[in-house]
Amino acid sequence: MRRIKLTIAYDGTAYSGWQAQEGCATVEETVADAIGRLTGVKPELTGASRTDAGVHALGNVAAFDTESPIPGDRFSYAINAFLPEDIRIMESEEVSTEFHPRFDAHCKRYEYHIVTGNVCSPLASRYAAHIRGELDIEAMAEMARHAVGTHDFTSFCAAGAQVKSKVRTITSLTVSKENGEIVIAVEGDGFLYNMVRILAGTLIQAGLHRFKPEQMETILAGKDRSLAGPTAPANGLRLCKIWYDGAGKGEEEE
């Protein structure tokens, strides 16, 4: 038996998230079906990040076991022939049978994209949240700095999370303007359910001067979801990259 690692990009608009669900179109089920059509055996696919409905990805990672003789680096081309245009296998390779996409992840990068102004282009609205008011990027960036480090992120976790610990480490959280969009970029060892979207929603509140930047410390210390801002819309979020170095980092729910 061989294990194949896939790097997957997708437009999440048409899907009810990554994780397979009965009666719903999901990325996991679509990719597994494509592999089954290719090899004759539908595999159990393990993903690194269970992205929510409507969330996009440039570099989610998954793995499956197979007895197919197809070379590891050729699976990407072969699987893509059976996939819809909004899902693509960007890379494939054979890895150790001990490799686990989620538990072996060392660091993950998400970006949240925002367009401001009275009107949002339909070309932008598919991949960015629209905020009609202007945002104070400096206030957002200042608030973001208070979240960097190891903290209990209970205040940034949606109800229903099934994890033992809500302590996570954010190594970088920045706010910048790129190509006319405001981009919130966060890197860390793992993320709770809806954590990045709640962080984005909270920073947006700072950008609208509804929160003061220093309130981040109070929100974290309170360990209460009601203290943080609203959950930002799914369409602005994208999983950009996952790094592996052999050191597993634990659970991921975003």
Over residues 57-83, the pLDDT tens digits come to 999 999 999 999 999 999 999 999 999
Confidence tier at 248 by pLDDT (50, 70, 90): very low
pLDDT at 249: 44
For the chain, domains (ranges, CATH) are 2-95 (3.30.70.580), 106-244 (3.30.70.660)
Q: Check 52, 73, 86, 104 and give the catalytic one.
A: 52
pLDDT at 254: 56
Over residues 135-166, the pLDDT tens digits come to 999 999 999 999 999 999 999 999 877 788 99
Average pLDDT over residues 39-56: 95
Q: pTM higher than 0.95, yes or no? A: no
Do residues 111 and 59 make contact, with C-beta atoms less than 8 angstroms apart? Answer: no
Confidence tier at 183 by pLDDT (50, 70, 90): very high
189 is catalytic: no
Euclidean distance between CA atoms 93 and 103, whole angstroms: 18
Confidence tier at 232 by pLDDT (50, 70, 90): very high
Do residues 103 and 83 make contact, with C-beta atoms less than 8 angstroms apart? Answer: no
Beta bridge partners of 4: 64, 94
Residue indicated by tokens 């400096």? 138
Parallel, antiparallel or unpaired: strands 129-131 and 105-116: parallel
Euclidean distance between CA atoms 14 and 28, whole angstroms: 13
